[in-house]
Amino acid sequence: MMPSIRRPLRFTPARSPAPRADGWRPRRIWSFGSAKEPSLSELMDDPIFGHLLSSDGLQQEHVETLISEMRYKLGYA
């Protein structure tokens, strides 16, 4: 069997699209091209993150409780 030869995929940074005529603009929380990462509170407030948690069978309140317990145990409370 002959190996598949492919070009490596190049990462293209996300561009902020122009607003549409009706004023709609996609919500942009963070950019993978920047050095700044989203804070935990920004992630927890994101509705997509909430859907991801629920698809894994988790509730956001349980995750927040786990985080606060770990902060306490590690001395960050």
Per-residue pLDDT of the chain (77 residues; tens, 9 = 90+): 555 666 666 655 556 566 677 777 666 655 555 567 778 888 888 889 999 999 999 999 999 999 999 999 999 86
pTM over 0.75: no
47 token code pair: 């509705």
pLDDT of residue 3: 57
> Using CA atoms, how far apart are residues 74 and 77, in angstroms rounded to an integer?
8
Of 75, 74, 66, the residue nearest 40 (C-alpha): 66
> Using CA atoms, how far apart are residues 50 and 17, in angstroms rounded to an integer?
25
Residue 40 backbone zone (phi > 0: left; psi -120 to 50: alpha; other: beta) = alpha
Residue 45 has phi, psi (to 5 degrees) of -85, -10
